[in-house]
Structure 1
Amino acid sequence: MKKLKFAVLGAGNGGQSISAYLTLKGYDVKLYDKYDEVVAPLIEKGNIELRGVSLNGNAVISVITTDISKAVEDTDIILVTVPSNAHSFIANELAPVLKDGQVIVLCPGSTGGALEFKKILNYKNCSADYKLAETTSLFYACRAKEGVANISGVKNILPIASLPSSDVDYIINLLDDVYPQLVKEENVIASSLNNLNAILHPIAVLLSTSWIEATGGNFKFYYDSITPSVGKLIERMDAERMSIGKALNVHVKSAADSLKTYYSATGDSIYDMVRTVKAYEPISAPPSLNSRLLFEDIPMGLVPMVELAKLVSVNVPTMNLIIDLASQVLEKDFREEGRSLERLGISNMNIDELNKYVSNNFECTQGGK
């Protein structure tokens, strides 16, 4: 069996960490980012230094480029690590250059990533015979700056789902050498609803607004932002997410169970549990409200959850409260910018049709965006 070749699309925290890890594992990796100002320092440095609890060392990436066709050429696995706001851009760019046999994995898909990605590829008449999957989270808790990537924690178990769901075993087996923690998720509806970032991040950021603006984020995000009262509000919104999953007939883990699975967390509440996650200890709050913890996790995380709730007539007052509060504070219409059922390509489906689509992948004929 030939040695797999990887393309990593997105050179942020996750992209730099993944690229360095795979390279140090002995794999050929091409790293792409849209922005010259992101790519240029990495090319000048000549390597990415990986630190933390995973492999340590200097990884010389074979190709670092702003040309997506060059990045994915002659590769087997395409790991998409851009913020989920950019999934639509990547899908449009990939559509004409994908080749038969390539596997795309959104790391992570946020809420509805694979659905949106598939809809765009269909709309762009992508003819390649590819496979598409999404993880429920990133493989690591990590940060990267100026070619130095630090992994503070590696998830023990990480669910992955494919579209259609029948492809997932093949993809897990393909990635077993590099990411043995991958386990099969039921389908992309389950993986979308198991998006923990959308539950943990927005409430903690919004209710720390004055502290963030006063200190520039000079405090520990998870340890200091998630106080007992904030933790209870997170648990309330988490219960709404679980109700959506139940109505859609998919298994959804509670935030508490996810923290146990990912990081072996312990405790009787979200407040208690986050303080037992060592990977969270070094992570500071964002320096401003202009953070992906809001600008990604609300429109690409909470908004599509609310959209799915509409599909099954589930009441989600806490989710709606947080979306509306963020829209007011940041003067952004997150509902308009977010992933609607139409944007996911499922607006005309009932529950049975949706389950058939994600399982058997019958053709969706709704137009693209």
Structure 2
Amino acid sequence: MKIAVVGAGNGGQALAGYLAMKGFDVSLFNRSKRRISPIIESHKIKIEGQIEGDFKVSFATTNMEEAIKGRKLIMVVVPAFAHKDIAKKMAPFLEDGQIVVLNPGRTGGALEFRNILKQEEVKKDVIIAEAQTFIFASRMSNPGVAKVFRIKNAVPVSALPATRNPELEEVLRQVIPEFDVVSSVIYTSFNNIAVVFHPATLILNAARVETTAGKFEFYFEGISPSVAKVLEKIDEERCQVMKLFNVEPMTAKEWLNYAYDVRGRNLYEAIRNNSGYRGIFAPTSLDNRYLLEDIPMSLVPMASFGEEFNVKTPIIDSIINLSNIMMETNFWKVGRTVERLGLSGKSIDEIIKIVEEGEE
């Protein structure tokens, strides 16, 4: 099977190297040349950590047409705020039978990607899918060098609509058996655990990030017992929004057991028991995807669905509003909302039918 990895950041380089290690023919695309210049020349990616070795991809390129031509599986590994741009770049070159997986989609990723392809009048028979999270906890130390701290035990993934899940599963089980095909993108979008861990932790550690340039372990030092209590409230609000769609949510504490085999009496203890988070340092500034991606593409859509269907999200709202002040922007205006996802005015049952069966 030929696979394209779109995006050469922390996750993209790690995933490309991992798939090459498993013997797949892998192309690697990045919008700018800077990150992939060494890989263009050597075709090699060095992986450290849980996986060790130098692995050879077929080629690396900044040309989207070249990157995805003849590739059965296209793994998109970019921040969710880049999904629109990637969809537009990809639209003219998609082929019948291809599968595009957003790694991850955050909240509403597959729906947004589908809308862009519709706007671009793509007529090809393409499956769009989204993962609930990224398969690795990873960081890029240098161009062409990625460190994998931990491979998750399982990652939920679903196609949009869910009627395409059997085709998705047939392909993914050959590639990454840790992918767990679930009922629909409702499950993957609203079990978005990044919204629990990332934004509030960064906001509540803002002074420390700015005065130390992130020289502390994000999960082990940034999440104290009191910070964890805030995260638990965000998790409760997320779960209440998800229950609107008649899908039982997975709490953040349950997810840590599902993904990493760790337990605890509360969220703080479960995080402390996860060795996979050891050595992951905080961002060097607030100008980071933990806010720039997770606020508009995760917290905003959750708050928007809550507002649309009368579920209050006061703690989520407060984190968004604080982020607006600190980043001098308005994430409410640029983020994914019910309206921007093409679902304004639709009932819960209508939305469920769209994600399960598609639109006529």
Q: Same fold (TM over 0.5)?
A: yes
Tell me the residue number matched to 1:95.
91
Superposition deviation, residue 311 in structure 1: 2.4
Q: Which ranges of 4 or more aligned residues in structure 1 deviate by more than 4 Å?
A: none
Tell me the residue number matched to 1:74.
70
- 2:106 is aligned with 1:110: yes
Write the letter of the residue equivalent to 1:141: A
Matching residue within 187, 192, 195 for 2:184? 187
Q: Work out the CA distance in 2 between the residues paired with 1:357 and 1:340.
A: 16
**Contact 1:204 / 1:226 at 8 angstroms: preserved in 2?**
yes
Tell me the residue number matched to 2:259.
262
Tell me the residue number matched to 1:245.
242
Superposition deviation, residue 177 in structure 1: 2.9
- 2:112 is aligned with 1:131: no
Matching residue within 56, 59, 62 for 2:58? 62
Tell me the residue number matched to 2:47.
50
Q: Secondary structure at the match of 2:104?
A: coil
Q: Work out the CA distance in 2 between the residues paired with 1:172 and 1:141.
A: 23
Q: 1:150-179, CA deviations, whole angstroms, 9 ceiling, x for partnerless residues?
A: 111011111011100111232122121331
Tell me the residue number matched to 2:221.
224
Provide the TM-score with structure 2 as the length reference.
0.97
Q: 1:105-147, CA deviations, whole angstroms, 9 ceiling, x for partnerless residues?
A: 0000001000000011011110110111100000000111221
Tell me the residue number matched to 1:198.
195
Q: Work out the CA distance in 2 between the residues paired with 1:74 and 1:321.
A: 46
Tell me the residue number matched to 1:332.
329
Q: Secondary structure at the match of 2:147?
A: strand
**Contact 2:244 / 2:348 at 8 angstroms: preserved in 1?**
no
Tell me the residue number matched to 1:147.
144
Identity score, percent: 39
Q: Work out the CA distance in 1 between the residues paired with 2:116 and 2:344.
A: 15
Tell me the residue number matched to 1:347.
344
Q: Work out the CA distance in 1 between the residues paired with 2:244 and 2:71.
A: 39
Q: Work out the CA distance in 2 between the residues paired with 1:247 and 1:341.
A: 14
Q: Secondary structure at the match of 2:174?
A: coil
Q: Work out the CA distance in 1 between the residues paired with 2:268 and 2:166.
A: 35
Q: 1:58-117, CA deviations, whole angstroms, 9 ceiling, x for partnerless residues?
A: 112111011101000010000000110000001111111100000000000001000000
RMSD: 1.1
Write the letter of the residue equivalent to 1:178: V
Tell me the residue number matched to 1:21.
18
Any unmatched runs of 5+ in structure 1? Answer: 364-369
Write the letter of the residue equivalent to 1:104: V
Instruction: Count the aligned residue pairs.
Output: 359
Tell me the residue number matched to 1:160.
157
Q: Work out the CA distance in 1 between the residues paired with 2:11 and 2:190.
A: 21
Write the letter of the residue equivalent to 2:110: A
Superposition deviation, residue 332 in structure 1: 1.1
Change (3 A) 1:46 1:30: closer
Write the letter of the residue equivalent to 2:7: G
Any unmatched runs of 5+ in structure 2? Answer: none
Write the letter of the residue equivalent to 2:154: I
Superposition deviation, residue 214 in structure 1: 0.8
Provide the TM-score with structure 1 as the length reference.
0.95
**Contact 1:68 / 1:93 at 8 angstroms: preserved in 2?**
yes
Tell me the residue number matched to 2:359.
362
Superposition deviation, residue 45 in structure 1: 4.7
Write the letter of the residue equivalent to 2:123: S
- 2:317 is aligned with 1:320: yes
Q: Work out the CA distance in 1 between the residues paired with 2:126 and 2:209.
A: 43
Q: Secondary structure at the match of 1:79?
A: strand
